[in-house]
Structure 1
Amino acid sequence: MSDDARVPVTYEHHDHVSGPFLHGTKAVLRPGDELVVGHSSNFEEGRVMNHVYFTTLESTAAWGAQLSAALAGLESRGHVYAVEPLGPFEDDPNVTDKRFPGNPTESYRTRHPLRVLHEVQDWRPHDRETLGTMLDNLARLREQGLDVIED
């Protein structure tokens, strides 16, 4: 879909986005668990999150899983879960039209819970070199004070 044909996703207009929806994290979860706001950020120490983030793309969920695990100093690659949004959602403003025109990462956020349906076992992680480059870029942004999460 071209950027001109893209329909923005808002809390009032989100029904045109269909799943499956995915969430990448360092956390070990079970089917039926709910991801809710008010927990610490996986990416910014001391920050309590007002939104829960998710995507329709495996590669974007893989970033969430791998980065959160690496930043926590874990040896695991993290986890990717199939989730169900339990309320309305919107485009993630941290990437939509700020870093990328449109929303090519198909990233969304919600103030409502996400219900875990099951863990995705066969997701493909990004290779070590690419992950290392992303971690270096995040560190550089942090040093410059530019790692701001609009939440």
Structure 2
Amino acid sequence: MQLWQLGLILLAVVWALQAVGTWMQMKHYREVMGDISRRWSDGFVGAGNARGRLGKGVILILVVSPDGIVRRLAVMEGRSVMAKFKPLTEFEGKPLAELRDNGFPGKEKGRNLALSRAIEQIDRTRSKASAPDPTNPQIAQA
């Protein structure tokens, strides 16, 4: 077999492995989100991400109760598709405002960026939920 044929086969194998790994990671993401939606029917969910140039990527899921208390904070970070979400239980039960003001201690630039994006998403959802619906005549008359 010639060298270019071997290279082409190797490229196909690596591509197939990446596709399988991506599928496994997306399956894990769907399982985590499904667990969150089954566990809590009220409140707000925000997902944020940050990509490092050469460093590890971060995906963060933040679940907040209607009164602004953190119910769950989970982080997936790494350079491979084998990364899994890890809950950060030390933040559970704290007010969202405290997390917004303090973020993660130290040089957690990727985590803090992902956290700020998740909080922005929650803020947008909360403001839409509290805004009156002009198409609903009961609210418009009130």
- TM-score above 0.5: no
TM-score normalised by L of structure 2: 0.27
Q: Which of the pair has the greater relative contact order for Cα pairs under 8 Å at 6+ separation? A: 1
More helix by share: 2
TM-score normalised by L of structure 1: 0.26
Which protein shows a greater Rg? 2
